Amino acid sequence: MNHDQSHTLFQQARQLMPGGVNSPVRAFKSVGGEPFFAKRAEGAYLIDVDGNRYIDYIGSWGPMIAGHAHPDVIAAVDKVMRDGLSFGVPNALEVTMAQTITRLVPSCEMVRMVNSGTEATLSAIRLARGATGRNRIVKFEGCYHGHGDSFLVKAGSGMLTLGVPNSPGVPKSLADLTLTLSYNDFEGVTRLFAELGEDIAGVIVEPIVGNANCILPAEGYLQHLRDLCTQSGSLLIFDEVMTGFRVALGGAQELYGITPDLTTFGKIIGGGMPVGAYGGRRDLLSQIAPSGPIYQAGTLSGNPVAMAAGLATLELIQAPGFYENLSARTQQLRDGLQNAADEAGIAFTTTGVCAMFGLYFCEEPIAGYADALRSDSSRFNRFFHGMLERGVYFAPSAFEAGFLSAMHGDAEIAHTLTAARTVFAEIAAA
Protein backbone atom coordinates (compact mmCIF):
# COMPACT_ATOMS: atom_id res chain seq x y z
CA MET A 1 0.00 0.00 0.00
CA ASN A 2 1.07 3.55 -0.74
CA HIS A 3 0.78 5.90 2.27
CA ASP A 4 2.60 8.97 0.93
CA GLN A 5 -0.19 11.47 1.52
CA SER A 6 -0.95 10.12 4.99
CA HIS A 7 2.76 10.35 5.84
CA THR A 8 2.94 13.97 4.69
CA LEU A 9 -0.19 14.89 6.63
CA PHE A 10 1.10 13.21 9.78
CA GLN A 11 4.39 15.08 9.62
CA GLN A 12 2.47 18.34 9.29
CA ALA A 13 0.07 17.39 12.06
CA ARG A 14 2.89 16.59 14.50
CA GLN A 15 4.00 20.22 14.32
CA LEU A 16 0.49 21.51 14.99
CA MET A 17 -1.24 19.04 17.32
CA PRO A 18 0.09 17.07 20.31
CA GLY A 19 1.36 13.79 18.86
CA GLY A 20 -0.15 14.78 15.54
CA VAL A 21 -3.64 13.71 16.61
CA ASN A 22 -6.70 14.91 18.49
CA SER A 23 -7.15 11.69 20.47
CA PRO A 24 -4.18 9.60 21.69
CA VAL A 25 -5.05 6.13 20.36
CA ARG A 26 -5.16 7.49 16.80
CA ALA A 27 -1.40 8.04 16.85
CA PHE A 28 -0.59 4.29 16.62
CA LYS A 29 1.81 4.81 19.52
CA SER A 30 1.11 1.42 21.12
CA VAL A 31 1.40 -0.54 17.85
CA GLY A 32 4.12 1.51 16.17
CA GLY A 33 4.14 3.16 12.78
CA GLU A 34 2.07 6.05 11.51
CA PRO A 35 -1.70 6.40 11.22
CA PHE A 36 -3.50 6.70 7.94
CA PHE A 37 -5.73 9.70 7.28
CA ALA A 38 -9.29 8.96 6.21
CA LYS A 39 -10.90 10.70 3.27
CA ARG A 40 -14.29 9.04 3.26
CA ALA A 41 -16.18 5.99 4.48
CA GLU A 42 -18.94 3.79 3.11
CA GLY A 43 -20.65 0.72 4.52
CA ALA A 44 -18.05 -1.47 6.19
CA TYR A 45 -15.10 0.40 4.65
CA LEU A 46 -12.75 3.30 5.33
CA ILE A 47 -10.93 4.89 2.40
CA ASP A 48 -7.78 6.89 3.12
CA VAL A 49 -6.31 9.92 1.36
CA ASP A 50 -4.05 7.64 -0.71
CA GLY A 51 -7.03 5.66 -2.00
CA ASN A 52 -6.46 2.55 0.15
CA ARG A 53 -9.59 0.70 1.30
CA TYR A 54 -9.89 -0.98 4.69
CA ILE A 55 -12.56 -3.21 6.17
CA ASP A 56 -13.27 -1.25 9.33
CA TYR A 57 -13.73 -3.04 12.64
CA ILE A 58 -13.80 0.04 14.89
CA GLY A 59 -16.68 1.94 13.27
CA SER A 60 -15.56 5.33 14.63
CA TRP A 61 -15.16 3.52 17.98
CA GLY A 62 -18.64 2.08 17.99
CA PRO A 63 -21.33 4.46 16.68
CA MET A 64 -21.44 3.23 13.07
CA ILE A 65 -23.53 0.17 13.89
CA ALA A 66 -25.60 0.61 10.70
CA GLY A 67 -22.45 1.14 8.61
CA HIS A 68 -20.67 4.27 7.44
CA ALA A 69 -22.63 6.89 5.54
CA HIS A 70 -25.90 4.97 5.67
CA PRO A 71 -28.26 6.60 3.16
CA ASP A 72 -31.04 7.03 5.73
CA VAL A 73 -28.71 8.75 8.18
CA ILE A 74 -27.19 10.99 5.52
CA ALA A 75 -30.66 11.94 4.26
CA ALA A 76 -31.82 12.81 7.77
CA VAL A 77 -28.78 15.00 8.37
CA ASP A 78 -29.08 16.67 4.98
CA LYS A 79 -32.72 17.54 5.59
CA VAL A 80 -32.17 19.01 9.04
CA MET A 81 -28.97 20.93 8.39
CA ARG A 82 -30.66 22.95 5.65
CA ASP A 83 -32.71 24.60 8.36
CA GLY A 84 -29.63 25.55 10.36
CA LEU A 85 -26.71 23.88 12.16
CA SER A 86 -27.39 25.11 15.68
CA PHE A 87 -30.03 27.23 17.35
CA GLY A 88 -29.13 27.79 20.99
CA VAL A 89 -32.79 27.30 21.86
CA PRO A 90 -34.83 24.09 22.24
CA ASN A 91 -35.67 22.08 19.15
CA ALA A 92 -38.25 19.34 18.60
CA LEU A 93 -35.67 16.64 17.84
CA GLU A 94 -34.38 16.85 21.42
CA VAL A 95 -37.82 15.83 22.64
CA THR A 96 -38.02 12.98 20.15
CA MET A 97 -34.59 11.72 21.21
CA ALA A 98 -35.57 11.82 24.88
CA GLN A 99 -38.79 9.96 24.09
CA THR A 100 -36.85 7.33 22.14
CA ILE A 101 -34.20 6.72 24.81
CA THR A 102 -36.70 6.54 27.67
CA ARG A 103 -38.85 4.12 25.65
CA LEU A 104 -35.96 1.80 24.72
CA VAL A 105 -34.18 1.95 28.10
CA PRO A 106 -36.84 1.72 30.85
CA SER A 107 -34.40 2.57 33.68
CA CYS A 108 -34.11 6.06 32.17
CA GLU A 109 -37.23 7.91 33.24
CA MET A 110 -35.59 11.21 32.31
CA VAL A 111 -32.54 12.06 30.21
CA ARG A 112 -30.20 15.02 29.67
CA MET A 113 -28.32 15.43 26.38
CA VAL A 114 -24.64 16.40 26.39
CA ASN A 115 -21.88 16.48 23.77
CA SER A 116 -19.67 13.49 24.56
CA GLY A 117 -19.37 10.34 26.61
CA THR A 118 -16.91 12.10 28.91
CA GLU A 119 -19.44 14.87 29.59
CA ALA A 120 -22.05 12.22 30.33
CA THR A 121 -19.92 10.33 32.86
CA LEU A 122 -18.66 13.50 34.59
CA SER A 123 -22.24 14.74 34.89
CA ALA A 124 -23.44 11.38 36.23
CA ILE A 125 -20.89 11.30 39.06
CA ARG A 126 -21.62 14.93 39.93
CA LEU A 127 -25.28 13.98 40.16
CA ALA A 128 -24.43 10.93 42.27
CA ARG A 129 -22.42 13.05 44.67
CA GLY A 130 -25.04 15.80 44.81
CA ALA A 131 -27.97 13.44 45.30
CA THR A 132 -26.30 11.33 48.02
CA GLY A 133 -24.28 14.01 49.79
CA ARG A 134 -21.27 11.70 49.61
CA ASN A 135 -17.94 12.19 47.84
CA ARG A 136 -16.33 8.80 47.09
CA ILE A 137 -16.65 7.12 43.71
CA VAL A 138 -15.79 3.50 42.90
CA LYS A 139 -14.42 2.54 39.49
CA PHE A 140 -12.79 -0.60 38.10
CA GLU A 141 -9.36 -1.29 36.70
CA GLY A 142 -9.44 -1.54 32.94
CA CYS A 143 -12.65 0.46 32.57
CA TYR A 144 -12.47 3.82 30.84
CA HIS A 145 -15.00 6.56 31.44
CA GLY A 146 -13.45 9.45 29.57
CA HIS A 147 -10.69 11.85 30.48
CA GLY A 148 -12.27 13.46 33.53
CA ASP A 149 -10.00 13.94 36.55
CA SER A 150 -12.01 11.54 38.70
CA PHE A 151 -11.46 8.72 36.20
CA LEU A 152 -7.74 9.10 35.54
CA VAL A 153 -6.91 7.28 38.75
CA LYS A 154 -5.22 3.91 39.11
CA ALA A 155 -5.38 1.47 41.99
CA GLY A 156 -3.13 1.97 45.00
CA SER A 157 -0.90 -0.67 46.54
CA GLY A 158 -3.76 -2.43 48.29
CA MET A 159 -7.38 -3.17 47.55
CA LEU A 160 -8.70 -0.50 49.84
CA THR A 161 -5.97 2.11 49.46
CA LEU A 162 -6.65 5.55 48.12
CA GLY A 163 -6.37 6.07 44.41
CA VAL A 164 -3.22 7.33 42.74
CA PRO A 165 -3.35 9.84 39.84
CA ASN A 166 -2.10 8.27 36.59
CA SER A 167 -1.95 11.56 34.70
CA PRO A 168 -0.18 14.81 35.62
CA GLY A 169 -2.75 17.50 36.25
CA VAL A 170 -5.03 15.29 38.35
CA PRO A 171 -4.98 16.61 41.95
CA LYS A 172 -4.04 14.05 44.59
CA SER A 173 -6.94 15.31 46.71
CA LEU A 174 -9.39 14.37 43.96
CA ALA A 175 -7.74 11.01 43.36
CA ASP A 176 -8.20 10.27 47.05
CA LEU A 177 -11.95 10.27 46.45
CA THR A 178 -11.76 7.62 43.72
CA LEU A 179 -11.45 3.97 44.75
CA THR A 180 -10.29 1.52 42.07
CA LEU A 181 -11.11 -2.19 42.25
CA SER A 182 -10.56 -5.24 40.09
CA TYR A 183 -13.46 -6.02 37.75
CA ASN A 184 -15.24 -9.32 38.44
CA ASP A 185 -13.73 -9.52 41.95
CA PHE A 186 -16.70 -10.33 44.19
CA GLU A 187 -14.68 -10.44 47.40
CA GLY A 188 -12.89 -7.15 46.82
CA VAL A 189 -16.01 -5.08 46.22
CA THR A 190 -17.82 -6.77 49.13
CA ARG A 191 -14.94 -5.91 51.47
CA LEU A 192 -14.82 -2.34 50.22
CA PHE A 193 -18.51 -1.75 50.85
CA ALA A 194 -18.27 -3.32 54.30
CA GLU A 195 -15.59 -0.80 55.21
CA LEU A 196 -16.60 2.35 53.33
CA GLY A 197 -20.12 1.78 51.98
CA GLU A 198 -21.66 4.71 53.83
CA ASP A 199 -19.17 7.08 52.16
CA ILE A 200 -19.66 5.85 48.59
CA ALA A 201 -21.77 8.10 46.37
CA GLY A 202 -21.74 5.80 43.39
CA VAL A 203 -20.20 2.90 41.54
CA ILE A 204 -19.46 3.53 37.86
CA VAL A 205 -18.80 0.50 35.67
CA GLU A 206 -18.68 -0.54 32.05
CA PRO A 207 -21.04 -3.53 32.30
CA ILE A 208 -18.95 -5.07 29.51
CA VAL A 209 -15.42 -3.71 29.70
CA GLY A 210 -14.57 -2.29 26.29
CA ASN A 211 -11.33 -0.57 27.16
CA ALA A 212 -9.40 -3.67 28.16
CA ASN A 213 -10.40 -5.14 24.82
CA CYS A 214 -13.68 -6.91 25.71
CA ILE A 215 -14.24 -8.43 29.16
CA LEU A 216 -17.63 -9.86 30.02
CA PRO A 217 -19.10 -9.77 33.52
CA ALA A 218 -18.91 -12.97 35.55
CA GLU A 219 -22.28 -14.55 36.24
CA GLY A 220 -24.01 -12.64 39.01
CA TYR A 221 -21.37 -9.90 39.25
CA LEU A 222 -23.48 -7.01 38.03
CA GLN A 223 -26.34 -8.12 40.27
CA HIS A 224 -23.86 -8.20 43.16
CA LEU A 225 -22.96 -4.57 42.47
CA ARG A 226 -26.65 -3.73 42.28
CA ASP A 227 -27.30 -5.37 45.66
CA LEU A 228 -24.36 -3.67 47.38
CA CYS A 229 -25.38 -0.26 46.08
CA THR A 230 -28.98 -0.76 47.17
CA GLN A 231 -27.93 -1.85 50.65
CA SER A 232 -25.55 1.08 51.15
CA GLY A 233 -27.64 3.81 49.54
CA SER A 234 -25.03 4.29 46.80
CA LEU A 235 -25.96 4.80 43.15
CA LEU A 236 -25.12 2.24 40.48
CA ILE A 237 -24.00 3.96 37.27
CA PHE A 238 -23.77 1.94 34.07
CA ASP A 239 -21.41 3.48 31.54
CA GLU A 240 -23.10 2.31 28.36
CA VAL A 241 -21.31 4.70 26.04
CA MET A 242 -20.02 1.62 24.18
CA THR A 243 -22.60 -1.03 25.03
CA GLY A 244 -25.73 1.10 24.78
CA PHE A 245 -27.81 0.01 21.77
CA ARG A 246 -24.90 -2.19 20.60
CA VAL A 247 -25.11 -5.41 22.60
CA ALA A 248 -28.92 -5.27 22.69
CA LEU A 249 -31.58 -2.73 21.86
CA GLY A 250 -31.83 -1.82 25.55
CA GLY A 251 -28.08 -2.10 26.11
CA ALA A 252 -26.19 -4.30 28.54
CA GLN A 253 -28.75 -3.63 31.25
CA GLU A 254 -31.38 -5.33 29.11
CA LEU A 255 -29.00 -8.16 28.20
CA TYR A 256 -28.18 -8.95 31.84
CA GLY A 257 -31.45 -7.89 33.47
CA ILE A 258 -29.97 -5.24 35.78
CA THR A 259 -31.55 -1.87 36.58
CA PRO A 260 -28.94 0.83 37.26
CA ASP A 261 -29.80 4.12 38.91
CA LEU A 262 -28.04 6.16 36.22
CA THR A 263 -26.85 5.34 32.70
CA THR A 264 -24.49 7.19 30.40
CA PHE A 265 -24.72 7.04 26.61
CA GLY A 266 -22.80 8.21 23.56
CA LYS A 267 -21.66 6.75 20.27
CA ILE A 268 -24.77 5.28 18.66
CA ILE A 269 -27.25 7.95 19.81
CA GLY A 270 -25.25 10.41 17.71
CA GLY A 271 -25.08 8.23 14.63
CA GLY A 272 -21.46 9.31 14.20
CA MET A 273 -21.90 12.89 15.44
CA PRO A 274 -20.40 14.03 18.78
CA VAL A 275 -23.21 13.31 21.24
CA GLY A 276 -23.63 11.99 24.76
CA ALA A 277 -26.43 11.68 27.28
CA TYR A 278 -27.12 10.56 30.81
CA GLY A 279 -30.39 9.36 32.22
CA GLY A 280 -31.96 7.54 35.11
CA ARG A 281 -34.58 7.72 37.81
CA ARG A 282 -36.86 10.75 37.72
CA ASP A 283 -36.15 11.67 41.33
CA LEU A 284 -32.44 11.87 40.51
CA LEU A 285 -32.60 13.69 37.17
CA SER A 286 -35.05 16.20 38.67
CA GLN A 287 -32.17 17.47 40.78
CA ILE A 288 -30.32 18.73 37.69
CA ALA A 289 -30.55 22.46 36.90
CA PRO A 290 -32.79 24.23 36.13
CA SER A 291 -35.28 22.01 37.95
CA GLY A 292 -32.84 21.32 40.79
CA PRO A 293 -29.66 22.65 42.44
CA ILE A 294 -27.04 20.39 40.77
CA TYR A 295 -25.57 22.41 37.93
CA GLN A 296 -24.77 21.07 34.47
CA ALA A 297 -25.03 22.86 31.15
CA GLY A 298 -23.98 22.61 27.50
CA THR A 299 -24.36 25.34 24.92
CA LEU A 300 -24.57 22.91 21.99
CA SER A 301 -26.31 20.04 23.78
CA GLY A 302 -29.19 18.56 21.80
CA ASN A 303 -27.74 19.87 18.54
CA PRO A 304 -30.40 19.31 15.84
CA VAL A 305 -28.02 17.79 13.27
CA ALA A 306 -26.65 15.34 15.83
CA MET A 307 -30.15 14.47 16.97
CA ALA A 308 -31.20 13.77 13.39
CA ALA A 309 -28.24 11.44 12.80
CA GLY A 310 -28.87 9.63 16.07
CA LEU A 311 -32.60 9.23 15.58
CA ALA A 312 -32.12 7.84 12.07
CA THR A 313 -29.64 5.32 13.47
CA LEU A 314 -31.92 4.33 16.34
CA GLU A 315 -34.72 3.78 13.82
CA LEU A 316 -32.53 1.44 11.75
CA ILE A 317 -31.50 -0.73 14.68
CA GLN A 318 -35.10 -1.44 15.62
CA ALA A 319 -35.62 -3.47 12.42
CA PRO A 320 -36.65 -7.10 13.06
CA GLY A 321 -33.66 -9.43 13.29
CA PHE A 322 -31.12 -6.61 13.38
CA TYR A 323 -29.30 -7.80 16.48
CA GLU A 324 -29.64 -11.47 15.64
CA ASN A 325 -27.83 -10.86 12.35
CA LEU A 326 -25.11 -8.79 14.02
CA SER A 327 -24.56 -11.46 16.65
CA ALA A 328 -24.29 -14.21 14.03
CA ARG A 329 -21.81 -12.21 11.95
CA THR A 330 -19.67 -11.43 14.99
CA GLN A 331 -19.62 -15.08 16.02
CA GLN A 332 -18.69 -16.03 12.45
CA LEU A 333 -15.73 -13.66 12.62
CA ARG A 334 -14.63 -14.83 16.05
CA ASP A 335 -14.87 -18.52 15.18
CA GLY A 336 -12.98 -17.97 11.93
CA LEU A 337 -10.17 -16.07 13.63
CA GLN A 338 -9.90 -18.69 16.36
CA ASN A 339 -9.71 -21.51 13.80
CA ALA A 340 -7.06 -19.64 11.80
CA ALA A 341 -4.95 -19.07 14.92
CA ASP A 342 -5.33 -22.70 16.00
CA GLU A 343 -4.22 -23.91 12.56
CA ALA A 344 -1.08 -21.78 12.86
CA GLY A 345 -0.39 -22.91 16.43
CA ILE A 346 -0.82 -19.38 17.80
CA ALA A 347 -2.00 -18.89 21.40
CA PHE A 348 -5.16 -16.89 20.84
CA THR A 349 -8.61 -16.39 22.30
CA THR A 350 -11.59 -14.19 21.60
CA THR A 351 -14.40 -12.73 23.66
CA GLY A 352 -17.55 -11.01 22.59
CA VAL A 353 -21.25 -10.36 22.82
CA CYS A 354 -23.51 -9.40 19.93
CA ALA A 355 -21.59 -6.86 17.76
CA MET A 356 -18.72 -6.25 20.20
CA PHE A 357 -15.61 -8.43 20.42
CA GLY A 358 -12.10 -8.73 21.84
CA LEU A 359 -8.94 -10.42 20.53
CA TYR A 360 -6.20 -11.68 22.88
CA PHE A 361 -2.92 -13.39 22.11
CA CYS A 362 -3.09 -15.86 24.98
CA GLU A 363 -4.87 -19.16 25.64
CA GLU A 364 -6.27 -18.55 29.11
CA PRO A 365 -9.86 -17.32 29.62
CA ILE A 366 -10.19 -13.56 30.06
CA ALA A 367 -12.04 -12.64 33.25
CA GLY A 368 -10.38 -9.40 34.31
CA TYR A 369 -7.83 -6.72 33.58
CA ALA A 370 -4.95 -8.82 34.89
CA ASP A 371 -5.87 -11.52 32.37
CA ALA A 372 -5.89 -8.95 29.55
CA LEU A 373 -2.36 -7.91 30.51
CA ARG A 374 -1.14 -11.46 29.79
CA SER A 375 -1.95 -11.04 26.10
CA ASP A 376 1.21 -10.93 23.97
CA SER A 377 1.28 -7.30 22.84
CA SER A 378 4.19 -7.82 20.43
CA ARG A 379 2.23 -10.50 18.58
CA PHE A 380 -0.82 -8.27 18.55
CA ASN A 381 1.22 -5.45 17.03
CA ARG A 382 2.50 -7.74 14.25
CA PHE A 383 -1.05 -8.96 13.69
CA PHE A 384 -2.38 -5.41 13.51
CA HIS A 385 0.12 -4.25 10.91
CA GLY A 386 -0.13 -7.46 8.88
CA MET A 387 -3.90 -7.10 8.70
CA LEU A 388 -3.69 -3.38 7.93
CA GLU A 389 -1.42 -4.03 4.94
CA ARG A 390 -4.05 -6.48 3.68
CA GLY A 391 -6.85 -3.96 3.98
CA VAL A 392 -8.29 -4.87 7.39
CA TYR A 393 -8.40 -2.28 10.16
CA PHE A 394 -8.65 -3.43 13.76
CA ALA A 395 -8.21 -1.07 16.71
CA PRO A 396 -4.58 0.14 16.93
CA SER A 397 -4.29 -1.05 20.52
CA ALA A 398 -4.35 -4.42 22.26
CA PHE A 399 -6.72 -2.90 24.84
CA GLU A 400 -9.60 -1.72 22.68
CA ALA A 401 -12.73 -3.63 21.68
CA GLY A 402 -13.72 -4.25 18.09
CA PHE A 403 -17.13 -3.61 16.52
CA LEU A 404 -19.12 -4.97 13.61
CA SER A 405 -21.77 -3.13 11.66
CA ALA A 406 -24.81 -4.33 9.76
CA MET A 407 -22.77 -3.82 6.57
CA HIS A 408 -20.18 -6.47 7.41
CA GLY A 409 -21.26 -9.37 5.23
CA ASP A 410 -19.86 -12.66 3.98
CA ALA A 411 -17.41 -10.99 1.59
CA GLU A 412 -15.89 -8.78 4.28
CA ILE A 413 -15.56 -11.60 6.79
CA ALA A 414 -14.10 -13.95 4.15
CA HIS A 415 -11.48 -11.33 3.21
CA THR A 416 -10.66 -10.81 6.88
CA LEU A 417 -10.19 -14.52 7.55
CA THR A 418 -8.07 -15.07 4.44
CA ALA A 419 -5.78 -12.23 5.54
CA ALA A 420 -5.69 -13.56 9.10
CA ARG A 421 -4.52 -17.02 8.01
CA THR A 422 -1.60 -15.45 6.19
CA VAL A 423 -0.70 -13.15 9.08
CA PHE A 424 -0.98 -15.89 11.72
CA ALA A 425 1.32 -18.08 9.62
CA GLU A 426 3.86 -15.24 9.40
CA ILE A 427 3.72 -14.72 13.17
CA ALA A 428 4.20 -18.44 13.79
CA ALA A 429 7.25 -18.48 11.50
CA ALA A 430 8.89 -15.43 13.09
> Among all residues, which ones are annotated catalytic?
144, 239, 267
Residues 207, 142: Cα–Cα separation, whole Å:
12
Phi, then psi, of 223 in degrees rounded to 5: -65, -35
Which region, left, alpha or beta, applies to residue 397 given φ > 0 means left and ψ of -120 to 50 means alpha?
beta
Residues 408, 56: Cα–Cα separation, whole Å:
9
DSSP 8-state class, residue 314: H
Q: Which residues are CB-contacts of 252 (< 8 A; sequence separation ≥ 6)?
A: 207, 208, 238, 240, 243, 244, 258
Residues 73, 334: Cα–Cα separation, whole Å:
29
CB atoms within 10 A of CB 366: 23
What sections of 184-321 are H helices per DSSP? Answer: 186-196, 221-232, 251-256, 282-285, 304-316
Amino acid at 321: G
End-to-end CA distance of the chain: 22
Residues 267, 230: Cα–Cα separation, whole Å:
29
